[in-house]
C-alpha cells in the first residue's frame, strides 16, 4: 500500500511538472504575437506596408541612388526585355 502511495505521489508530481512545461511552452506563442503586433505598429508609424507594397519597399532605395544601364544583346526575347526596360524606366522616375 505504501508503495502505491509513493508511486501515486510521484505520478502527481510528474503530471504537475509536465503541465507547467506545457503552459510555459504555450506562453511563448502569446509573446510572439505581441512582438509581431509591436513590429507592425512601428512599421505603420514609419509608413512601411510589407503586405501590400513589397515592390515599393525594394524600389525606394534604388530610386535614391544611380541605376545601371541595361544593354540588350539581341532579339532573343524582346517582349521580356521591353517589359524589363519599362520597369527600369519606372524606377528611374521615382
Which one has a higher pLDDT value, 65 or 10?
10
6 pLDDT more than 60: yes
Q: What is the pTM of this model?
A: 0.32
Write out the E strands in the chain. none
- Per residue in 25-66, pLDDT (tens digit) is 777 666 778 888 888 888 888 877 666 655 544 545 544 555
Q: How far is CA 16 from the centre of its chain?
A: 36
Per the structure block, which three cell numbers stand in for 86?
Answer: 519599362
Q: For residues 49, 55, 57 and 61, what is the CA-based torsion angle, rounded to 10 degrees?
A: -170
- Say how far apart CA 15 and CA 25 lie, in whole Å: 15
- Say how far apart CA 10 and CA 81 lie, in whole Å: 73
Give 17's pLDDT tier (boundaries 50, 70, 90). very high
Tell me if 67 sits within 8 A of 88, measured CB to CB: yes
Amino acid at each position: 500500500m505504501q508503495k502505491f502511495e509513493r508511486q501515486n505521489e510521484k505520478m502527481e508530481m510528474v503530471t504537475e511538472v509536465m503541465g507547467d512545461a506545457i503552459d510555459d511552452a504555450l506562453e511563448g506563442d502569446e509573446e510572439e504575437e505581441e512582438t509581431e503586433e509591436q513590429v507592425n505598429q512601428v512599421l505603420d508609424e514609419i509608413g512601411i506596408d510589407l503586405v501590400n507594397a513589397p515592390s515599393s519597399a525594394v524600389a525606394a532605395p534604388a530610386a535614391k541612388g544611380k541605376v545601371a544601364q541595361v544593354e540588350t544583346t539581341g532579339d532573343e526575347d524582346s517582349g521580356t526585355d521591353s517589359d524589363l526596360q519599362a520597369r527600369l524606366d519606372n524606377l528611374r522616375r521615382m
